[in-house]
Amino acid sequence: MLKPLKANNIALKAGDTVIINTGGGGGFGNPWERDIVLVRRDVLDGYVTREGAERDYGVAFTADGLEVDIEATRRLRTELSSRWKQMLQNILAPYEQGSDRGSG
């Protein structure tokens, strides 16, 4: 598990290297398609909460919070995908119907 480091006023010399690892970036692609093993690791390492994993990545955990609940994860991801598709349909519908909003 990564431990937080708090450091101030550290003098660096020419040629020194500083590496900073952060979590919670914008990501790439659909969050509910992210590898569940990686989501689990982020939860266990404290980068993502269990609630965030369920809400944002569609990954559910067992009661002890240590393992992924595969069936619940499958249901959550199906629901997230369906909601996303419906939202896109609602956004694109006026353009697909040839309304004035879609003409340039």
**In the chain, what are the domain boundaries?**
31-95
Tokens 């040839």 belong to 98
Q: What 3-state class would DSSP assign to 66?
A: coil
How many C-beta atoms lie closer than 10 Å to residue 49's C-beta?
13
Q: What is the pLDDT of residues 26-46, one digit of tens each?
A: 677 888 889 999 999 999 998
Q: What global pTM score does this model have? A: 0.63
Q: For residue 68, list its beta bridge partners.
A: 61
Residues of the chain with pLDDT under 50: none
